[in-house]
Structure 1
């Protein structure tokens, strides 16, 4: 009975460590994001969100100034 309990504890600890590692580091067999094979035929990457794109923000600012010329900004 003692050997069975010890075996169950060891299995539980191993499962806990595996789950904890997968949660903190991500899936162990998945490639990390942003690492693509070279020569994929794509151009340079663009910002993902519009608020990360300086060109979008400049254009947005220009449109806002044209729409409201009396604004103090």
Structure 2
């Protein structure tokens, strides 16, 4: 007899969960359509990606290599 009660309780729980899920679907407000975000501008991530840094580095190397 206890096994039958356990099975009945399990079936009741499953039915309640399903009924709640079905009823909850109609209560939610529809999500507004999201616009795609504009792409972020590409910027240097590391110093060796930065053209200005590379120009400055090349200028320093030329200056150090020049005969004194």
Short-chain TM bin: 0.3 to 0.5
TM-score normalised per structure 2: 0.38
TM-score normalised per structure 1: 0.36
More helix by share: 2
